[in-house]
Amino acid sequence: MNAEIQSIIASMTLEEKAALCTGASAWTTTPVKRLHVPEMIVSDGPHGIRRLRDIYSMGHQSLPATCFPTASCSASTWDVELMRELGAALGEEAIALNVDVILGPGVNMKRSPLGGRNFEYFSEDPYLAGELAVAFINGVQSKGVGTSLKHYAANNQEFQRFSIDTEVDERTLREIYLPAFEKAVKEAQPWTVMASYNKVNGVFATEHHTLLTEILKNEWNFEGLVVSDWGAVRDRVAALKGGTDWEMPGPQERRVNAVVEAVRSGELDEATLDESVRRILRIVFKARETPKGGAFDVDGHHAIARKIAAEGMVLLKNAPLPQEEPLLPLRGHRQIAVIGRSAETAHFQGGGSSHINPTRVDVPFLELQSRAGAAELTYAQGYPADDSFRQDLIDQAVGLARSSDVALIHIALPSYKESEGYDRTDLDLTAQQVALIQAVAKVQPKTVVVLNNGSPVAMSAWIDAVPAILEGWMMGQAGGAALADILFGQVNPCGKLAETFPLKLSDTPAHLNWPGGAGKVRYGEGLFTGYRYYDSKEMPVLFPFGHGLSYTTFTYSNAKASAKTFRDVDGLTVTVDVTNTGHMAGKEVVQVYVHDRASGLVRPQKELKGFAKVSLHPGETKPVAIKLDFRAFAYYHPEYRQWITEDGDFDLLIASSADHIRHILAVTLKSTLDLPCILDRESTVREWMADPRGKAVLGPFYPQMEEQNRKTFGDDGAESSMGLNMMDMVGDMPLVSVLMWQQGALPMHPEDFVDELLAQAHGRA
Ligand code: BGC
């Protein structure tokens, strides 16, 4: 194939090459009929196929396809096998709908719960998002259909999304905003990566040579093509130079001409254009290998959507009632009041380019009714479709709740609240919904709240009044059935939060830097996003990352690490026995977080580095093994410009949520890295002494420096004449500045002396 592609490139005219690098329509590549280069069709993504009826237009009528749960829900399964199954089903639908590449998954981090597209993204944690993305991509691509990993990079809000300049430091980028992309590229090779709309540190993502060429293509060995987000390219020639191979949507005659002219004038090297052409042709021909057409298994895929919804829904609260068992699962009730508009009109997806035309939709009320046996179900709307206030609807619901044994309140945010294109402005339910829950709970202590939303909502105003809360998310077209399965106990809930639910908006890590202004947003919280922030601030949250209840109980025992002392390159394996100690079969997600006891640079309190989901019958015990590799212990050092490990002690936290640590294992890491010396003229005394090479050359002079300090400042160590510990003070001064005070005691000028030490430390002398 390579030779064939090379010979096609050799036969292409400059105009043909430039045209290939821009779409022919909103969803297709430009074919080169003369050379038998076919067109390739792409469609949105990510939780269903949005194949437009007319792919040659920007119209919005899409063909029916399964609407799977959105990413907040599927991520809460923490189930890589299920993600793979989801991917494979999407691949099959793509084939049936004649689609070559699905525009997804989206792996942007949830920097703030207000992000308009959070429902399309997996998590606030890069490790979890990366693992899920790998499985999703492998699933789709196992069918011979491509994916588009999006939106690369640091695209975490909708406010000014076409132009905002994300100001983010290198370490934060490497540790928080890039790793999910990195893992997905290295372990799953998506056919395409989508460059985002925003700028990153002053440069448009589509033109970002460091991000696209140096990191994505060269460092991570991305083999596919980079496509621009739709309409993201400002300067086509700059984007080609940066690494954006394919501009979408097309056609863009003016842009094509600009590329031709740039090559002719020498501004753009034709080899750069050829490289983009090569990448595009490779994927176009790869897509051609999978024959398209046929039908997909509508019922089978609906069943997969139902399974994902059931495993992704999170039982947030299920408090025992006085003298009774927890309220859920429902049993023995005769009269059930079903309240809330979303029980009748399922709220199962968000707005924007991911909006799917479902093959069918399960209605929660009907699904509940079909499982209710002898119980009678009644319904009250409870709130209107918009955010207006209707006391009459509340009064009606209260009447029903009062005369029933139990009330189920289904709450969905108005559908326009969560969408691509704009962010939320608060975490609140509508005033009507809050009043409804409060009023119903007052007359009916057995009240369950079922939520349908794409990201966290505030609950402080009513949480204490209700014993049970089920987070049903944007649950996909089969979510109604999944809800009913869980509420009636036919399925044991096992979802765990892939993001923290904060108590209030002002607690959130990005609050002071959200959403930015004057064209810029500063990621001032740095590494401290999601639980990394709440942990380090010791701040209470509504529900922690990783939280999710079950109808059964689990114990953890026999926790072990495969080694007490280990080398970074070997990593280690954590094992723990998990036992189902309750009466119902269930699944548990075991999470392993790593805590570095001491590090050269500040690190979050703990970081998720492994997890496993295990299915257990009542009374059953299974061992769970989780492997931790080099990266589980490393952090990115902006001065070394690489991931580094340091000798020292780590705690491995085996947990059932970020706040519920079951066991702690202490281990010791031996670093095998031979780091280059980064000392320079500005390095402080402490930095010299912390660096092994620095210490070797400065160490012999250190007592003399101390002695000089004593002489100059009368410092006797414990109590100096100036009321301070002089060596502590000079520790944070550049070595050269300290020595300037000690000139007489040195054999040469301090600057020359430091240069000589530097030469020795760097191995130049
Ligand atoms: C969105 C992408 C989407 C593309 C095509 C853009 O506005 O940001 O996620 O894939 O449109 O619909």
The 10s digit of each residue's pLDDT in 164-203 is 999 999 999 999 999 999 999 999 999 999 999 999 999 9
| Mutate-to-test residue for ligand 1 from 353, 354, 355, 419, highest number of ligand atoms within 8 A of CB | 353
103 lines ligand 1 (CB under 6 A): yes
Residue located nearest, by CA, to atom 6 of ligand 1:
230
- For 105-140, the pLDDT digits (tens) are 999 999 999 999 999 999 999 999 999 999 999 999
pLDDT of residue 717: 55
* CA separation, residue 370 to residues 26, 43, 361, 362, 446 (Å): 44, 36, 15, 12, 21
Give the span between the Cα atoms of 6 and 155, in whole angstroms: 35
Output the 3-class SS for 347-375: CCCCECCCCCCECCCCCHHHHHHHHCCCC
pLDDT band at 256 (very low <50, low <70, confident <90, very high): very high
Q: Which residues pair with 576 in a beta bridge?
A: 624
- Residue 38's pLDDT is 98
Which strand (E) or helix (H) includes residue 128? helix 126-141
Nearest CA to ligand 1 atom 9: 353
The whole-angstrom separation of Cα 226 and Cα 247 is: 9
What's the confidence (pLDDT) of residue 602?
97
Q: How many CB atoms lie within 10 A of CB 176?
A: 27
Q: Find out whether the beta carbon of 196 lies less than 6 Å from any atom of ligand 1.
A: no
Distance in angstroms (rounded) separating the CA atoms of residues 413 and 405: 26
Q: Is the pLDDT of residue 386 over 90?
A: no
Cα 231 to averaged position of ligand 1 atoms, centre (Å): 9
For 225, the 3-state DSSP assignment is strand
715 falls in which pLDDT band (50, 70, 90)? low
**Ligand 1 centroid from CA 45, angstroms:** 9
Give me ligand 1 centre to Cα 229, in Å: 6
Conformational region of residue 58, where left means phi above 0, alpha means psi within -120 to 50, and beta covers everything else: alpha
Q: Name which residue sits closest to atom 12 of ligand 1, judged by CA.
A: 353
Mutate to test the pocket of ligand 1, among 120, 230, 354, 419 (most ligand atoms within 8 A of CB): 230
103 CA: nearest ligand 1 atom: 10
Least confident of 14-18, 112-116, 542-546, 703-707: 703-707
The answer to whether the CB of 476 falls within 8 A of the CB of 325 is: no
* Ligand 1 centroid distance, CA of 196 (Å): 9
635 beta partners: 644
Nearest CA to ligand 1 atom 8: 229
Residue 388 CA, ligand 1 centroid: distance in Å:
31
Residue tagged 């108005």 (tokens) = 414
CB atoms closer than 10 angstroms to residue 253? 10
User: From the alpha carbon of 50, which atom of ligand 1 is closest?
Assistant: 12
Q: Scanning the structure block, which residue is given the tokens 């949480």?
A: 463
Ligand 1 pocket check: which of 103, 117, 151, 163 to mutate, most ligand atoms within 8 Å of Cβ? 103
C-alpha span between 168 and 294 (Å, rounded) = 47
- Cβ of 525 closer than 6 Å to ligand 1, yes or no, is no
- pLDDT reported for residue 718: 58
- Residue 44 Cβ < 6 Å to ligand 1: yes
Region of 675 (left: φ > 0; alpha: ψ -120 to 50; beta: rest) is beta
Q: How confident is the model at residue 372 (pLDDT cuts 50, 70, 90)?
A: very high
Per-position DSSP letters for 412-472, written without gaps between them: E--GGGSBTTB--S-SPPPHHHHHHHHHHHHH-SSEEEEEE-SS----TTTGGG-SEEEE-
pLDDT tens for residues 65-97?
999 999 999 999 999 999 999 999 999 999 999
Q: Is the CB of 353 under 6 A from ligand 1?
A: yes
* Nearby residues of 422 by Cβ (< 8 Å), 6 or more positions away: 116, 158, 159
Q: Which pair of structure tokens corresponds to residue 537?
A: 């601030």
Q: Which atom of ligand 1 is nearest to the CA of 148?
A: 10
Q: How many whole angstroms separate alpha carbon 400 and alpha carbon 339?
A: 8
Backbone angles phi, psi at 172, to 5 degrees: -65, -40
Ligand 1 contact, 150 CB (< 6 A): yes
Name the residue type at position 97: L
Q: From the alpha carbon of 45, which atom of ligand 1 is closest?
A: 10
Tell me, in angstroms, the distance from the centre of ligand 1 to residue 287's CA: 20
Q: Tell me how far apart the alpha carbons of residues 539 and 497 are, in angstroms, rounded to a whole number.
A: 18
More confident: 180 or 723: 180
Hunting for tokens 């949250």 — which residue is that?
541
Residue 120 near ligand 1, beta carbon < 6 Å: no
Nearest CA to ligand 1 atom 2: 229
Structure tokens at 10: 């050799």
Q: For residue 330, what are the contacts with CB-CB under 8 A and spacing of at least 6?
A: 336, 406, 448, 487, 488, 489
**Contact yes or no for 236/261 (Cβ under 8 A):** no
Cα 762 to averaged position of ligand 1 atoms, centre (Å) = 49
Displacement of CA 476 from its chain's centroid (Å): 20
Q: What is the pLDDT of residue 239?
A: 98
Residue 680: partners with Cβ closer than 8 Å, 6 or more residues away: 758
Q: Ligand 1 pocket, 117 CB below 6 A?
A: no
Q: How far is the CA of 205 from the centre of ligand 1 (A)?
A: 15
- The CA–CA distances, whole Å, from 300 to 90, 306, 310 equal 12, 10, 15
Distance between CA atoms of 614 and 580, rounded to whole angstroms? 10
CA–centroid distance, 622 to ligand 1, in Å, is 43
Strands 468-471 and 314-318: antiparallel
* Structure tokens, 541: 């949250």
d(CA 713, CA 705): 12
Please indicate whether residue 47, judged by its CB atom, sits closer than 6 Å to ligand 1.
no
Query: pLDDT confidence of 714, banded at 50, 70, 90?
Result: low
Counting ligand 1 atoms within 8 A of each CB, the residue from 42, 43, 44 with the most, and so the one to mutate, is 44
Task: Record the tokens describing residue 71, joined without a space.
Answer: 């990413």
Closest by alpha carbon to 687, among 595, 763, 756, 761? 761
Nearest-CA residue for atom 11 of ligand 1: 230
The protein residue with its alpha carbon nearest to ligand 1, atom 7, reads: 230
* CA 150 to ligand 1: nearest atom: 9
CA gap 249, 28 in Å, rounded: 8
Is the distance from the beta carbon of residue 457 to the nearest atom of ligand 1 less than 6 Å?
Answer: no
pLDDT in tens, 294-334: 999 999 999 999 999 999 999 999 998 877 889 999 999 99
Q: Assign residue 476 a region (left: φ > 0; alpha: ψ between -120 and 50; beta: otherwise).
A: left
CA 120 – ligand 1 centroid, Å:
11
C-beta separation of 32 from 12 below 8 A: yes
By annotation, the residues acting in catalysis are 229
- pLDDT of 734 reads 95
The DSSP string of 398-428 is HHHHHTSSEEEEEEE--GGGSBTTB--S-SP
Contact 497, 545 (CB under 8 A): yes
Q: Which atom of ligand 1 is nearest to the CA of 353?
A: 12
Q: Which of 464-473, 578-587, 659-668, 746-755 has the lowest mean pLDDT?
A: 746-755
Summarised one tens digit per residue, pLDDT across range 298-308 is 999 999 999 99
Q: What is the pLDDT of residues 668-681, one digit of tens each?
A: 999 999 999 999 99
**What integer best gives the mean pLDDT of the chain?**
96
From the CA of 161, give the closest atom in ligand 1: 8
The CB of 230 under 6 Å from ligand 1? The reply is yes
Ligand 1 atom with minimal separation from the 44 CA? 10
**Model-level pTM?**
0.97
Dist. CA 260–CA 273, nearest whole Å: 10
Distance 450 CA to ligand 1 centre (A): 30
CA distances 606 to 535, 557, 592, Å, are 8, 21, 10
- How far is the centre of ligand 1, averaged over its atoms, from the C-alpha of 353 (Å)? 6
Q: Give helix 298-312 / helix 80-96 axis angle, nearest 10°.
A: 150
Q: Residue 719: is its pLDDT beyond 70?
A: no
